[in-house]
Amino acid sequence: MVKISPSVLTADFLELSESIKRLEEAGVDMLHLDVMDGIFVPNISFGVPVISSIKKHTALPCDVHLMIDKPHRYLKEFAAVSDYLGFHYEAGSDVAETLKEIRNLGCKSCLTIKPCTAPEEIFEYLPLCDMVLVMSVEPGFGGQKFMPEALGKLSALKKEIVDRKLNVLLEVDGGINAETAPLAIKAGADVLVAGNYIFSADDMGARVKEIKAL
Give the catalytic positions in this structure. 34, 173
For residue 61, what is the DSSP state? P
The DSSP H or E segment spanning 50 is helix 48-55
List the beta bridge partners of residue 65: 34, 86
> How far is Cα 135 from Cα 43, in angstroms, rounded to an integer?
16
Q: Note whether 16 and 8 are within 8 A (CB).
A: yes
The DSSP H or E segment spanning 192 is strand 191-194
DSSP string, 105-152: TT-EEEEEE-TTS-GGGGGGGGGG-SEEEEESS-TT-SSPPP-TTHHH
> How far is Cα 182 from Cα 187, in angstroms, rounded to an integer?
9
Bridge pairing between strands 108-113 and 84-88: parallel
